[in-house]
Amino acid sequence: MPETPAPAVPPTPPVPLAALLAREDLALRQIAGPSEPAVVIHWAHVSEMADPYPYLLGGELLLTAGVHIPEAAGSGRYFDDYVSRIVAAGGAALGFGLAPVHDTVPPALVAACDAHGLPLLEVPPQTTFSGVARAVWQLMAQARLAELRRVTEAQQSLAAAASRPDPVPSVLRQLAQRLGGWAVLYGPDGTRIAAAGRGPEDEVREALAGLAGLAEVVRPIRAHAPTSAADTAAGTHLAAYALGTGQGFVLGVAAPHREPGDHTIASVAAVLLSLLTGEHQSGAGAARSSALVRLLLGAPPEDVAPLVGGERWVVVHARPDAQVPDAVAASALGAALGSALVDLACDVVRVLVPTDRVPAPQPGWTLGVSAAVAPHEWPSADTQAARALARARATRTALVRHGARPGLDDLVPGEEAQAHARAVLAPVAANTALTDTLRTWLSLHGSWDRTAVALAVHRNTVRQRIARCATLLDADLDDPDVRMELWFALKHL
């Protein structure tokens, strides 16, 4: 598949020229050239060079005060050559500033812009070029924010669609709706498995099917990383994404317009479809489904563990540092940890990882890792991972592992330890908030601030709860012996 050349314009949403003309504070006026809504600019550039071609990248609003114009320019080809060079360089529009050099825009420049189809703006004396450039950047920032919001909303809706009972058709429908076009999933033999949206003409369908075959020529280097190819047919923008399943599935998209964020949205859909098709087509996916069914039917965990690989496991609890995790982020974390056994629950992602894949810190995540356990100990490992995550967040550590060395627990029989815990903690046992706060506070050596962070409450709330515990337990919580006894009891409550 041939490489697509890098665009000559930045990957930010362009600014419609009409939006710049609508700024009353600038008082710009278009006096020549096409006034079509499709005219957009990517930046503003000031130049007084007679030949600006070498200094333009394309997409500029070129601003000039006409300092470079010779006195006899109006009687020759100066303006025609000047405008033709701007157009050849890909300039989007020309802004001519009045005063102090010229009181009016030269008529020959107006005629040249009309002849070459270059929009010409008159910049009044009270409007500075820097003010025009600032307005362009402000409009670009607004467009960028709107585009980011659009992409974020699309990602959320696609993730929600992937969790529906009919995930593949739902993802395709949502993608077609977001892009205002047609989305189709091709099978390994090139047949159309599912489609959504308004179907294009036959010519476009055939071109998209051919593009899908091209995208499949180069397989993804790593799992769930789709390769893509793009083209245009009959005025319709086409894109094809070879899904990272290794099974030959390809996502095709046809849309009448192509916005800057469309590729990102389609890529998210491709990743989700990679996960969905890979889960149902791979042997590992079948094994996991079989293990789940057997667990639901009452088989003990140790009997089904061989189906998903590994004799000993660790449980990982993870929270992202910046935002609430979604399905895509959870799957990506599982892939980074080397396990597809991922559970997304509220603001925590849980991953079951075989011990031959040692969990390492992940950028942007805080992790709590349990001790290595056999399958029948998975529930206790889940609790260990949750506590390790709370400690990691409180201490602002990227990864905390549960310590599993022998201690007092080995000296006291389990039933006696539990009976002792119930007796000691009876005054607070019914109040989960109090017991959780006491446990966290003790684990963090009585730190009010770290406990507040771990529990996501105010530090004054922590103080009030600990004071309440001290009153109900009739205990001096500053006494290390009391703290040790309470910690021992909490472990067995």
pLDDT at 64: 96
- 1: pLDDT strictly greater than 60: no
Tokens of 87: 């157009």
More confident site: 13 or 222? 13
Lowest mean pLDDT across 71-80, 227-236, 392-401, 481-490: 227-236
Name which of 51, 60, 56 is nearest 79 in CA terms.
Answer: 51
For residue 303, how far is the Cα from the chain centroid?
A: 38
**Rounded mean pLDDT of the chain?**
82
65 assigned to some structural domain: yes
Beta-bridge partners for 241? 228, 251
Closest CA to 378 of 313, 440, 438: 313
In a domain, 301, yes or no: no
**Based on the domain organization, do 96 and 210 belong to the same domain?**
no
> Are 316 and 351 within 8 A, CB to CB?
yes
- CB-based contacts of 492, cutoff 8 Å, min separation 6: 409, 414, 417, 418, 420, 421
Asked which of 1-15, 19-33, 274-288 is least confident by mean pLDDT, the reply is 1-15
Amino acid 214: pLDDT: 59
User: What pLDDT was estimated at residue 217?
Assistant: 43
Can you give the pLDDT at residue 378? 84
- Domain check: are 269 and 167 in the same one? yes
Helix ranges, 246-317 (H): 262-281, 283-296, 301-308
Burial of 25 (0-12, 13-18, 19+ CB in 10 A): exposed
Which residues sit opposite 64 in a β-bridge? 96
pLDDT over 90, % of the chain: 33
Q: How far is CA 13 from CA 139, 147, 268, in A?
A: 9, 7, 19
Are residues 275 and 173 part of one domain?
Answer: yes
**pLDDT of res. 29:** 96
Q: Are 425 and 488 in contact (CB under 8 A)?
A: no
Residues 358, 328 within the same domain: yes
Pairwise CA distance, residues 40 & 258, whole Å: 14
Two structure tokens written together for 492: 């067995």
Q: The tokens of 90 are what?
A: 């890909």
Per mean pLDDT, which range of 10-24, 86-100, 203-217, 309-323 is the poorest? Answer: 203-217
Asked if 395 and 420 sit in the same domain, the reply is no
Distances (CA, A) of 138 to 14, 45, 60, 91, 135: 11, 15, 15, 20, 5
d(CA 122, CA 104): 9
Task: Write the CATH number for 480.
Answer: 1.10.10.2840
* Alpha-carbon distance values, 196 to 164, 172, 205, 271, 387 (Å): 16, 6, 13, 18, 45
Number of domains observed in the structure of the chain: 4
Domain identity same for 195 and 230: yes
- The token pair at 489 is 């009891």
Q: Contact 304/289 with Cβ under 8 angstroms? A: no
Predicted pLDDT at 438: 93
Mean of pLDDT values over 32-44? 90
With contact defined as beta carbons under 8 Å apart, do 390 and 441 qualify?
A: no
Give per-residue pLDDT as tens, 372-403. 888 888 888 888 898 889 888 888 888 998 87
Residue corresponding to tokens 């009409």: 18
Q: Which of 142, 126, 110 is nearest to 12 (CA)?
A: 142
Segment 450-460 shows an average pLDDT of 90
Q: Which domain holds residue 416?
A: 408-492
Task: Over range 361-371, report the average pLDDT.
Answer: 88
Beta strands in 81-235 (DSSP E): 93-97, 120-123, 182-186, 192-197, 227-233
- Neighbouring C-beta atoms of residue 156, cutoff 10 Å: 14
60 and 40 Cβ atoms separated by less than 8 Å: no
What would the mean pLDDT of 447-457 be, rounded to a whole number? 90
Q: How far apart are CA 221 and CA 207, in angstroms?
A: 25
Report the pLDDT value the prediction gives residue 280, as an integer from 0 to 100: 45
Quick check: is 181 in a domain? yes
pLDDT digits (tens, 9 = 90+) for 268-305: 888 888 877 764 444 555 566 666 666 667 777 777 77
Asked if 366 and 418 sit in the same domain, the reply is: no
How many other CB atoms are found less than 10 A from the CB of residue 71?
6
Residues 391 and 435 in one domain: no
Give the highest mean pLDDT range of 156-160, 223-227, 457-461: 457-461
- Write the single-letter amino acid at 56: L
CATH of the domain at 186: 3.30.450.30
DSSP type of residue 373 = B
Q: Which residues are within 8 A (CB) of 320 and not within 5 positions of it... i.e. 6 or more apart? A: 329, 364, 365, 366
Q: Which of 45-54, 118-127, 226-235 has the lowest mean pLDDT?
A: 226-235
Average pLDDT on 215-226 reads 45
Q: Which residues pair with 252 in a beta bridge?
A: 184, 240
Residues 119, 204 within the same domain? no
Distance (Å, rounded) from C-alpha 182 to C-alpha 46? 42
Q: How far is residue 314's CA from residue 399's CA, in Å, rounded to a whole number?
A: 13
Residue 413, in any domain of the structure: yes
Q: What is the mean pLDDT of residues 121-130?
A: 96
Report whether 246 contacts 253 (CB < 8 A). Answer: no
Residue 409: what pLDDT?
56
pLDDT at 281: 46
In-domain check, residue 306 = no
Q: Residue 58 — φ and ψ, nearest 5°?
A: 115, 140
Q: Which residue has the higher pLDDT, 157 or 330?
A: 157
Best CA proximity match to 452, nearest among 466, 469, 432? 466
- Residue 214 and residue 128 in one domain: no
- Region 80-105: mean pLDDT is 94
What whole-number distance in Å separates Cα of residue 152 and Cα of residue 168? 20
Of the ranges 143-152, 172-181, 229-238, 255-264, which is most confident? 172-181
Mean pLDDT over 326-341 rounds to: 74
| 30 and 93 together in one domain | yes
Give the pLDDT confidence score for residue 376 in this predicted structure: 81
pLDDT in tens, 227-241: 667 777 777 888 888
136-150: per-residue pLDDT in tens? 999 988 888 888 888
Q: How many CB atoms lie within 10 A of CB 30?
A: 19
Q: How many CB atoms lie within 10 A of CB 34?
A: 14
- Cα separations in angstroms, 249 against 131, 167, 220: 51, 15, 12
Where does a domain end: 401, 421, 441? 401
Give CA–CA dist 216/239, Å, rounded.
12
**Of 24-38, 254-268, 277-291, 417-431, which range is least confident?**
277-291
pLDDT at 145: 86
Indicate if 167 and 274 belong to the same structural domain.
yes
Cβ 219 vs Cβ 245: under 8 Å: no
Q: How many residues does the chain have?
A: 493
Is residue 302, in this structure, part of any structural domain at all?
A: no
